[in-house]
């Protein structure tokens, strides 16, 4: 068996697996960190948090922002912080603060000193490298992060052929190219500085992620692999491997680690019985390495998030239950 279940944590509202340790907030508002050294409480009576670059940013019940490092509070910001932080790099952290009923885009420097930008009509939906992006209705624009200057705008409905709704999903910036996955399965490749469309790639995958310089997407029983340098792609078909199990990859819940694909089985949104399946396949050989049923206890069930860190696999279910699996040493 590749993984074994080692712990189940209940009442988990949100979990972060990005910084090498498990950090989560429970329904009482307690922010907790678990690592090889044990379990410790970071903060209490919080509404939410995000962890990034050795800092833990917490929002208290008054919507103030508190910053923790190594378990100690090192900064407190008064005022109403109305959105979760957006992070860029080791030098800057970007947050939103409400000032006189107007949202302000705030940059915190390496010493966590704040500089206010009055970009009241341009609320970034995403930051990538030296750019931030804004979506307002049909328009999607790219701005320079240093001064907010708009560089280009495109009409997402004209580009996608759709007429309404959220037509764009994931964005990846790599070597001056911006890759945007569309609901139609097409991946747009643009020159991020000019907005020029370099290629419309019929990738047939609506959700994408970057791993080791390649772009991946899943759907049905296929894994798509796109080379961002050559803009060529290929498909790894797992139909033969999965046909006896009736498994299908969920497009928005997968992880590529090395030669392994971690997947969630796609099931109907509403179910009152049965189980969700989490599994692992080996990409090069198309071998099904491991899978496990996560039972549905009652009503609507969904896997909120998955994370792989070291020898740990984390699966957060919508029922606020975090399943922690550990890789067997001999696997």
> 91-109: per-residue pLDDT in tens?
778 887 877 777 777 888 8
Whether 177 shows a pLDDT value over 80: the answer reads yes
Residue 3 token pair: 């993984």
pLDDT at 302 over 60: yes
Tell me the CATH class for 130-202: mainly beta
144's tokens: 């320079």
Closest CA to 274 of 291, 295, 292: 295
- Alpha-helical regions (H) of the chain: 156-160, 239-242
Residue 162 has pLDDT above 60, yes or no: yes
Separation CA 64–CA 82 (nearest Å): 9
Helix (H, G, I), strand (E, B) or coil at 193: coil
Percent of the chain whose pLDDT exceeds 70: 87
For the stretch 122-136, pLDDT in tens is: 566 788 888 889 888
**Can you name the residues that pair with 214 across neighbouring β-strands?**
211
Compute the distance between CA of residue 186 and CA of residue 184 in angstroms, rounded to an integer. Answer: 6
**Cα dist. 12→23, 24, 36, 305, 316 in Å?**
10, 7, 20, 12, 8
Query: What pLDDT score was predicted for residue 272?
Result: 47
pLDDT in tens, 66-77: 999 878 999 998
* Contact of 153 with 141, CB cutoff 8 Å: yes
CA–CA gap between residue 155 and residue 90 (Å, rounded): 33
Question: Which one-letter DSSP state was computed for residue 11?
Answer: S
pLDDT tens by residue, 230-248 = 999 999 999 999 988 888 8
Domain map (residue ranges) of the chain: 130-202
Nearest to 135 by CA among 174, 165, 179, 113: 165
- CB 112 within 8 Å of CB 65: no
Tell me which residue of 274, 237, 277 sits closest to 253, measured CA to CA.
Answer: 277
Percentages of the chain per state (helix, strand, coil), in multiples of 5: 5, 60, 40
Residue 4 pLDDT: 93
């Amino acid at each position: 068996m590749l993984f074994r279940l080692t712990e189940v944590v209940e009442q988990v509202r949100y979990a972060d697996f990005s910084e090498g340790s498990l950090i989560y907030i429970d329904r009482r508002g307690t922010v907790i960190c678990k690592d090889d050294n044990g379990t410790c409480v970071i903060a209490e009576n919080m509404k939410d948090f995000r962890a990034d670059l050795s800092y833990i940013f917490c929002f208290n019940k008054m919507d103030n922002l508190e910053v923790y490092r190594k378990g100690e509070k090192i900064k407190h910001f008064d005022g109403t912080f109305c959105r979760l932080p957006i992070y860029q790099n080791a030098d800057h952290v970007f947050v939103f603060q409400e000032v006189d009923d107007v949202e302000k885009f705030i940059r915190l420097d390496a010493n966590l000193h704040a500089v206010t930008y009055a970009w009241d009509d341009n609320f970034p939906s995403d930051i990538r490298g030296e750019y931030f992006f804004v979506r307002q209705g049909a328009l999607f624009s790219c701005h320079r992060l240093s001064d907010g200057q708009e560089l280009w705008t495109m009409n997402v409905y004209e580009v996608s052929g759709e007429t309404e709704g959220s037509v764009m999903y994931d964005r990846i910036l790599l070597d001056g190219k911006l890759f945007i996955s569309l609901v139609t399965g097409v991946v747009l490749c643009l020159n991020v500085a000019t907005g020029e469309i370099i290629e419309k790639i019929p990738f047939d995958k609506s959700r994408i992620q970057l791993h080791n310089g390649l772009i991946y997407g899943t759907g049905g029983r296929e894994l798509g692999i796109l080379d961002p340098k050559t803009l060529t792609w290929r498909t790894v078909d797992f139909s033969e491997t999965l046909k006896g199990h009736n498994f299908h990859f969920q497009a928005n819940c997968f992880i590529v680690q090395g030669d392994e694909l971690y997947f969630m089985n796609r099931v109907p949104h509403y179910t009152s019985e049965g189980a969700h399946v989490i599994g692992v396949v080996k990409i090069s050989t198309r071998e099904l390495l491991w899978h496990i049923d996560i039972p549905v206890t009652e009503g609507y069930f969904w896997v909120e998030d998955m994370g792989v860190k070291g020898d740990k696999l984390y699966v957060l279910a919508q029922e606020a239950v975090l399943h922690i699996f550990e890789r067997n040493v001999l696997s």
